[in-house]
A and B are shown apart, each in its own frame.
Chain A
Amino acid sequence: MLEVEELTVRYGDHLALDRVDLSVAEREVVCVLGPSGSGKSTLLRAIAGLETSSAGRITVDGRDLAGVAPHRRDFGLMFQDHVLFPHRDVLGNVRFGLQVQRVPRLDADERAGTMLALVGLTGFEHRRVSELSGGEQQRVALARSLAPAPRLLMLDEPLGSLDRPLRERLTVELGTLFHELGQAALFVTHDHDEAFALADRLVILFAGRVEQAGPPDEVARRPATPAVARFLGWNVTSAFGQRLAVPPNALTLNGTGGGVAGRVVATLRRRDAVRVQVAVHEAETLDVEVRGGDIPGVGSTVTLTVDEARVWPL
């Protein structure tokens, strides 16, 4: 449905987006994952028509969107911090998109009510948006974006401003909702968990460039470049011969049959595992994930073995 070809956005000398290719099919959820400053928001804004591109094409079902005003594109965009209209109540916010399309008031109210029910906010119609909690605001913003039934819903770090437990719950809810509605969605995030949980397809964006695109499973198992591997938290090393991308949980400390010798330089206790940093050779340190068993002290000498089945050659 949506095709983005060679999209380039320039701010003065700075290249915010560099020949980005991207597509979203009907009913597909695509996630753009990248560190902050990688151009994710710019990408959404350019597709929405809020940012002018200097080169490239954006088409919907083959129709070029160049020169089409944002309000005629039939896209929805949910901003990072929701951007609710402060002078309107909850219902007024959700009804807005229908109101500007001159949907009769009663129909608009009914549709808005349905949307509020969908996000679990029935009864909140006449609350002021400033009285809502962060999670409630996020739901109102979602209902508001869904109400006009956009061809494509874009979400800019939709859960970014919420605390972790709420995020995890809403991630599940969002996924269920998209699939129930068959809503095509394009969302951007820097949070791996969110991206892998929701996406049918992942696009990894670094410094305005697409580094890799594909189903989450494939990206998770086969990082295409060293940059993607590091972004996923993998080690990129030649300590085991050829240049490999090695996930921390593919390494074992003091395993049978010897291995590469190293020295523990730091340990970091996490909720469910311990991350041990091991210096090998001269200047290289590798992250090792240890679940259970003894944790060697800092300074002790260890050997590293690698699970060949879970590494990926670069």
Chain B
Amino acid sequence: MDRHGRALTVRVKGPRARPWLLAAVPLGFFGVFFAYPVGAIVSRGLVEHGPLDLGNLGSVVWFTVWQATVSTVVTVVAGLPAAYVLARFDFPGRRLLHAAVVVPFVLPTVVVGSAFLALGFEPSVLAILCAHAFFNYAVVVRTVTGLWAHLDPRTEEAARVLGASRWQAFRLVTLPALRPAIIAAATIVFLFCFTSFGVILILGGPTRSTLETEIYRQTAVFLHLRTAAVLTLVQLGAVVALLLVTGRALGRDVALRLRAPREVARRPRTPGERFGVAAVVATMVGLLATPVAVLVARSFDTPGGVGFGFYRALGELRRGSVLFVEPLVAVRNSLVIATEATAVAVAVGGIAAFVASRARRRWLEGILALPLGVSAVTVGFGFLIALDRPPLDLRTSSLLVPIAHALVAVPFVVRVTMPVLRSIDPRLRESAAMLGASPARVWREVDLPIMTRALAVAAGFAFAISLGEFGATLFIVRPDRPTLPIVIYRLLSQPGSQSFGAAMAASTILAALTAIVVLAIDRFRVGTAGEW
């Protein structure tokens, strides 16, 4: 009886106790590299003494808010027709277009910035708005299409036969139904524009500052760390408040009439419909392709004719350059750092997803999602002031940049792997256990094979994020070990057509690397790994 009882206890406790031991890994990682730096920011801003200059806080906040608001409105207005056409019509190339629409979104912000300079935009508010709309277009199109493609078109027809015109049916019936998707997309876009860093730094010129770029300027130019810390806290507060407000707005959903997208999309029938679809598709292709095409074209457009001159120049360290190493070294740096960051992010994120998927409560998920809302600049600034002195001095460690990248990437890893893990039928694990498999064996036989694909996709995301990461890197990068985005930014801030051309070439290389990674992800993609 005694033996039997003990065996029973072990079996009940075993599988439960271990995940909580595992939870120490992600929690420790977040504690050291997220909570501790944020704590350091709070202490630097509110507790310690030092020069504090908040004279232009008002104008910075104002510019941050209004550029984000206008960018969001522009993006939503530009995205809705595309979402309508993709959701409601079936035409040749629809799937390709639906896939291609994410291209700008996966491009590193630095590349987006240089693409708009390549298009001939002078640094200006207009350039910022256009770049933000270009970058975030996919968020609106994919999110809204995701819902619209499931809305029952007969709801609109019911409105039509009750006497509503097309416009009235859209305004009174479809738009309210799309509200949750539009709010969700607009929130994300607003958040991205509110915390936009690379685009503003490159396209904003020296005078226009958002909270993000001002934090960087106070740190790097004026060395006012206390001012920067207070600005970071303002930023954090604003982001948290925004998430809370929209969370509440999204909470009031109604049950919609949803159908399979196959039943919703149809071929355009009347000449008017065909023309409208063709016009929207042409606009989409133009909007998506032009900046990238011009960027690539200008990278080959050397003073001596079309050629690889700018690419060859990347291999040389020119006199008077702002760089300490040949630009081409940055390609290798970026690839090495991305590999290290991916390893850390997949390990930490994978374990976190595993633990969280077994847990009944969702607070771990919440903790892990935190850095999503926190800007890269906050991460970089936090690392800068927290990890440069005992007890943890990582200034000279080559792992500092990969860890920062991993911190930014972990929430994405969790979001990609978690739904897959949750979808595993628990009875699979139970039957493996009943057949005599130990918990570790169960994990290896059941969870791991299913997780492998999801982890591959997550690794791809982490790699792409690391390749393009700019905001955090700029704070903590060592001058002799720059990444590609840093090199592009340095080249762009140096006058002269030679360095501009080199920046175009470097941007093209970065865009190509990113494209390769994203295409590889697409091959591993499981259908259920989220809308986008």
Interface residues of A (CB under 8 A from B): 45, 48-50, 52, 69-77, 79, 83, 85-87, 96-97, 99-101, 128, 130, 144-145, 148
Tell me if B177 counts as interface (CB < 8 A to partner A). yes
In the complex, A144 Cα to B164 Cα: how many Å? 13
Within the complex, the shortest CB–CB distance from A137 to chain B, in Å, comes to: 12
Closest A-B pairs by Cβ, 6 of them: A97-B162, A77-B161, A70-B160, A100-B164, A87-B176, A83-B158
Task: With CB as the reference atom, state the residue of chain A lying closest to B177.
Answer: A87
> Which residues of B154-184 are within 8 A (CB) of A?
154-155, 157-166, 168-169, 172-173, 176-177, 179
CB contact between A100 and one of B152, B155, B165, B254 (< 8 Å): that residue: B165
In the complex, A77 Cα to B169 Cα: how many Å? 15
Subset of 10 A-B contacts with CB under 8 Å = A69-B165, A69-B166, A73-B161, A77-B161, A86-B155, A86-B256, A96-B162, A97-B162, A100-B164, A148-B163
**B173 pairs with A75, CB closer than 8 A:** no
Within the complex, the shortest CB–CB distance from B73 to chain A, in Å, comes to: 22
In the complex, A48 Cα to B169 Cα: how many Å? 15
The size class of the interface chain B forms with chain A is 20 to 34
B interface, over-half SS: helix
CB contact between B159 and one of A72, A74, A96 (< 8 Å): that residue: A96
**A52 pairs with B163, CB closer than 8 A:** no
> Cβ of B162: which chain A residues have Cβ within 8 Å of it?
71, 76, 96-97, 100, 144-145, 148
How many A-B residue pairs have C-beta atoms within 8 angstroms? Tell me. 79
> Cβ of A128: which chain B residues have Cβ within 8 Å of it?
254
> Cβ of B168: which chain A residues have Cβ within 8 Å of it?
71, 100
**A86 pairs with B177, CB closer than 8 A:** yes
Within the complex, the shortest CB–CB distance from B454 to chain A, in Å, comes to: 33
> Cβ of B152: which chain A residues have Cβ within 8 Å of it?
83
Known: A52-B269, A86-B257. 17 other contacts (CB 8 A): A50-B161, A52-B270, A69-B166, A71-B163, A76-B162, A77-B158, A77-B161, A79-B154, A79-B157, A79-B158, A86-B254, A87-B176, A96-B164, A99-B172, A100-B162, A100-B165, A148-B162
> Cβ of B169: which chain A residues have Cβ within 8 Å of it?
71
In the complex, A145 Cα to B173 Cα: how many Å? 16
In the complex, A69 Cα to B444 Cα: how many Å? 62
> Cβ of A50: which chain B residues have Cβ within 8 Å of it?
157, 160-161
In the complex, A87 Cα to B164 Cα: how many Å? 17
Tell me if B255 counts as interface (CB < 8 A to partner A). yes
Task: With CB as the reference atom, state the residue of chain B lying closest to A45.
Answer: B157
**B177 pairs with A71, CB closer than 8 A:** no
> Cβ of A79: which chain B residues have Cβ within 8 Å of it?
154, 157-158
In the complex, A151 Cα to B180 Cα: how many Å? 37
**A71 pairs with B160, CB closer than 8 A:** yes
In the complex, A83 Cα to B152 Cα: how many Å? 9
CB contact between A86 and one of B154, B157, B166, B255 (< 8 Å): that residue: B255
> Cβ of B172: which chain A residues have Cβ within 8 Å of it?
96, 99-100
In the complex, A86 Cα to B147 Cα: how many Å? 15
